[in-house]
Amino acid sequence: MLFLQSSTQTTTFPLTFFDILWLKVYPVERVFFYTLPSSQSHPSFFFQKLVTILKSSPSLTLKHFLPLAGKIIWPSESQQPIILYTPNDGVSLLIAESKVDFDQVVENSPDEASLSRSFIPHLESADSFASIISVQITLFQKSGFSIRTSTHHGVLDGKSSTMFIKAWAYLCNKTIETNEESPTLLAKLEPLFNMEIIKDPNELGVTFKNSYSVRATFNLTLEDLIKIKQMVSSKLEVVDKNESNLKPQSLSAFVLTCAYSLVCLAKAIHGAAKEKDKFSFAFPIDCRSRLEPPIPNNYFGNCVWGHFVDTKPSNFMEEDDVYLVAKCIHEKIKMINDHGVFQGSINDGFGKYNSLINEGFGVFGVGGSNKFGVYETDFGWGKPEKVVTVSVDRGLYIGLAESKDGNGGVEVELVLNKLVMDLFSSFFFEGLCIN
């Protein structure tokens, strides 16, 4: 793996609303196949001569296309993502050799789609940044080579990515023809990086940005859970008058966390889309200790069953919302404990789920558990700094884990579009009176 650098001072570039529109779309991926004459197809010639030229010319090209060597980041103090270039940045270039038949890959007849996919270089990305372009050069035995690019659609479209490749090709050609170290680039291939000429009078960038999914983790401390329990208890004394079997001391961290978080989530969704005002909640139950006879706790395999909570569609939005939802979750768990895990279960759950969705419900789910002890997973370098349940991004799920400080709190993880996440955060902290 080589790193092609273009040294200069740290520079930032804004993104336009056109960029933000395509920020989450798959990269533009392209492979150029070239036939080599027999005199140049030997691996030693390819790696000693051609690769040297192909490696040096991208460095020359990057001096003209500086933002491509940077990273897309979203600073906490910024309202939108930006491109950041620092002197240590560059473009990854992988040099490889393949035993695949070159004649086969350049034919127009159908072949396995995975064959072309194998030629695409990896475009690095993480929660904090995304690379903009990566390149791979591959020699095929005796016949030819390929140049493969993967470019981030949030920075350049197909025309722009082609312009970069043509500029690279031009400078490579000039280097071969003239032996110049820094040939001049054609004016028509010189890029214009002036994002200010793109105007956004309708603030489309804000609209696109607010529709993006973002991930966040919210921590409920033991003190927070006590506050929520007191909130539910006060409503219990006024509304329920102890007519049910609900007792404040019987409210678990799971019940309190789900009730509070889901009410905040329902309010946030309703705040972003007023027509969304009907919600339901289903959660999984571990059956290991609840079967007859019970099975060992170390049974390895699926052993969970799902239950819908018997809430009314509007319970998540009413004045006594946290109390009402907590009561319904508690009563469902009590029913399961008293009558068995399959009593009133969702054996037709998928049908019910689809029916609720068709009726316009937001159906909440939960993944993970505050009893799994995920922060006890120590490989020898200490406990994890953070544990993320990536799969909660596939619906209206909240991910649960115990707080990493081990003091009885619960972590709540969500993936929501940015507008809903902002509203959720506001409801979540205001409800706990946290500044």
Task: Tell me if 414 sits within 8 A of 391, measured CB to CB.
Answer: no
Confidence band of 41 (pLDDT split at 50, 70, 90): low
Residue with tokens 């529709």: 211
Residue 337 has pLDDT above 80, yes or no: yes
pLDDT at residue number 365:
93
Average pLDDT along the chain:
83
CA–CA separation, 407 vs 401, rounded Å? 12
With bands split at pLDDT 50, 70 and 90, how would you rate the model's confidence at 348?
low
User: What is the per-residue pLDDT for 264?
Assistant: 96
Q: Which of 66, 58, 61 is nearest to 10 (CA)?
A: 66
Say what the alpha-carbon torsion angle 172, 178, 184, 186 is, to the nearest 10 degrees: -70
User: Residue range 226-243: average pLDDT?
Assistant: 78
Q: Could you report the per-residue pLDDT of 280-336, keeping only the tens digit for each?
A: 999 998 989 998 899 998 888 888 888 899 999 899 999 889 999 999 999 999 999
Rounded to an integer, what distance in angstroms lies between the CA atom of residue 210 and that of residue 226?
33
Residue range 24-30: mean pLDDT, rounded: 82
Strand order in the sheet with 213-220: 213-220, 410-417, 397-402, 362-368, 279-286, 304-308
pLDDT higher than 90, residue 384? no
In the predicted structure, residue 34 carries a pLDDT above the cut 80: yes
The confidence score (pLDDT) of residue 112 equals 47
CB atoms within 10 A of CB 187: 6
Residue 113 has pLDDT above 50, yes or no: no
For residue 53, count other CB atoms closer than 10 A to its CB: 13
Bridging pattern class, strands 279-286 and 362-368: parallel
Over residues 28-48, the mean pLDDT reads 75
The DSSP element (H or E) to which 411 belongs, if any, is: strand 410-417
Say how far apart CA 41 and CA 50 lie, in whole Å: 10
Complete domains list, the chain, with CATH: 2-206 (3.30.559.10), 212-431 (3.30.559.10)
CA 77, CA 90: separation in Å to the nearest integer?
25
d(CA 158, CA 151): 9
Which residue in 326, 330, 346 sits closest to 338, CA to CA?
330
Q: Binning pLDDT at 50, 70 and 90, where does residue 28 land? A: confident
**Could you give the residue ranges of the DSSP H alpha helices within 319-366?**
321-339, 349-358
Please check the confidence at residue 346 and state whether its pLDDT lies above 60: no
Q: Centre a 10 Å sphere on the Cβ of residue 124 and count the other Cβ atoms it contains.
A: 13
**Of the ranges 29-33, 119-123, 330-334, which one carries the lowest mean pLDDT score?**
119-123
For the chain, the 3-state helix, strand and coil shares in percent, each to the nearest 5, are 40, 20, 40
- What are the pLDDT digits (tens) for 142-189? 678 888 888 888 889 888 888 898 988 888 888 878 777 778 889 999
Tell me which residues are annotated as active site.
153, 378
Question: Is the pLDDT higher at 262 or at 51?
Answer: 262
The percentage of residues in the chain with a pLDDT greater than 90, rounded to a whole number, is 26
Q: Is the peptide bond before 293 cis (omega within 30 degrees of 0)?
A: yes
Does 104 have pLDDT greater than 90? no
In the three-class reduction of DSSP (H, G, I as helix; E, B as strand; rest coil), residue 69 is classed as: helix
In the structure, what pLDDT confidence band is assigned to residue 52 with cuts at 50, 70 and 90? confident
pLDDT at 142: 67
Per-residue confidence (pLDDT) for residue 114, from 0 to 100: 52
According to the model, what pLDDT value does residue 116 have? 58
User: What does the pLDDT look like over 84-99, one tens digit per residue?
Assistant: 998 878 888 888 888 8
DSSP 274: T
Closest listed residue to residue 19, CA positions, set 154, 200, 211: 154
329, 302 contact by CB (below 8 A)? no
How large is the average pLDDT for residues 115-119? 60
